Amino acid sequence: MTLRFTFAPLPTRVVFGPGTLASVRAEVERAGFSRVLVLSTPGHRHLADRVAGLLGDLAAGTHPHAAMHVPAGGAERARETAARLSADGCVAIGGGSTIGLAKAIALSGGPAYVAVPTTYAGSEMTPVWGLTEHGRKRTGRDERVRPVAVVYDPDLTLTLPPETAVVSGVNALAHAVEALYAPNGSPIVDLMAAEAVRVLTANLPRLTVEPGDPGVRARTLHGAWLAGCCLGSTTMGLHHKLCHVLGGTFGLPHAQTHAVVLPYALAYNSAKAPKACAAIAQALGESDPVTALWTWTRNLGAPSSLGELGLTEDAIAPTVDLATRDAYPNPVPLDPGRLRALLEAAVHGAPPQ
């Protein structure tokens, strides 16, 4: 097959390493911000306060109100707070929800931001934004929502409970898997994705037995960064679409949903996803990547079905409808009958076919 690709290096500056939170002021100064609003979820108010302390006279205030899937009303209130405080920059410290809030502010012409991720979701490496309103999650791509810099301090992930860390890690794994069959992949994306699969599958099981090991946490965050680079460089397929519908329309928790759906999505696409299948099979040391991935996620302690997350069979038809309404690239054509069967199996935790 003739090699043909387009590759644009990611524009985001990345600072990685234990203790790098201490460099947040230097990154803010480098970005030229002088009045900074610090964003977090309510549960991470203490981290927002810590960042404000590190910023000193550059801190304009904190806004610890980020919520999952970025409700449009919450984004509006954050924008108003940024305007009221005359903020010219933000720092978003937290997972994808907090970074999503910073993106919503930047999208509306508000200040740019420095991201300090505390989960493995990968949003900080992408130009993808999301907003949820009237039970629908809208997403889009806009270069304005990329952070000016990302500070990856693995020490911040030490508090992520193993059960949350594991599903967040599988969320990252899903970016790498879908990048390996994306229509706009490239040799560099393939390398990053295969390495992300290797690093994440090697370290997530260790994380469950040694959650306090800083080395395991750092390697997992390294894998998540690579996976985030894949997410930010390619277009995702069926797996991300299903999770997006299940999260935005039925309120399912983001990372847990990814952890359940991934083996089913890989099964659906397996006939046309040789690189993804090979990477998973090699990393897990098994010949059948789908069964190996399904078993592996369960052994990690991830939820075993969408039913366990609260989804009922009533949701299957609307999910199929929403997941097939708009065109998007997927290696295997979208067939409503096969998608219904996929979701039925996932609702009940039956082996993926």
Query: Minimum Å distance from CB 244 to ligand NAD?
Result: 7
Residues engaged in binding ligand NAD (CB under 6 A)? 41, 43-44, 68-69, 94-98, 100, 118-119, 121-123, 126, 128, 130, 156-157, 159-160, 164, 168, 171, 231, 247, 254-255
Where do we find the tokens 């907090």? Answer: 98
Q: Which two tokens stand for residue 328?
A: 């998007």
C-beta of 66 vs 277, nearer to ligand NAD: 66
Query: Minimum Å distance from CB 333 to ligand NAD?
Result: 25
C-beta of 96 vs 185, nearer to ligand NAD: 96
- Report which DSSP code applies to 213: -
C-beta of 77 vs 348, nearer to ligand NAD: 77
Query: Minimum Å distance from CB 120 to ligand NAD?
Result: 7
Q: Which residues pair with 38 in a beta bridge?
A: 62, 91
Position with the least CB separation from ligand NAD: 96
Query: Minimum Å distance from CB 351 to ligand NAD?
Result: 26
C-beta of 231 vs 320, nearer to ligand NAD: 231
62 and 52 Cβ atoms separated by less than 8 Å: yes
Q: How far apart are CA 28 and CA 60, in angstroms?
A: 13
H/E run at residue 343: helix 336-348
Instruction: Kindly report the length of the chain.
Output: 353
Q: Which two tokens stand for residue 336?
A: 């409503």
193 and 225 Cβ atoms separated by less than 8 Å: no
C-beta of 121 vs 347, nearer to ligand NAD: 121
Query: Minimum Å distance from CB 22 to ligand NAD?
Result: 17
C-beta of 117 vs 263, nearer to ligand NAD: 117
213 and 244 Cβ atoms separated by less than 8 Å: no
C-beta of 43 vs 336, nearer to ligand NAD: 43
C-beta of 231 vs 273, nearer to ligand NAD: 231
Query: Minimum Å distance from CB 218 to ligand NAD?
Result: 13
DSSP string, 252-306: --HHHHHHHHHHHHHHHHGGG-HHHHHHHHHHHT-S-HHHHHHHHHHHTT----T
Q: Which two tokens stand for residue 222?
A: 């390294």
C-beta of 163 vs 288, nearer to ligand NAD: 163
Query: Minimum Å distance from CB 146 to ligand NAD?
Result: 10
Query: Minimum Å distance from CB 93 to ligand NAD?
Result: 9
The helices-and-strands tally (H runs, E runs) of the chain is 13, 8
- Tell me the torsion sign for CA atoms 254, 100, 15, 54: negative
Query: Minimum Å distance from CB 48 to ligand NAD?
Result: 11
- Three-class secondary structure assignment of 100-156: HHHHHHHHCCCCCEEEEECCCCCHHHCCEEEEEECCEEEEEECHHHCCCEEEECHHH
Question: Which ranges of 7-134 does DSSP label H, i.e. alpha helix?
Answer: 24-31, 45-55, 72-84, 96-107
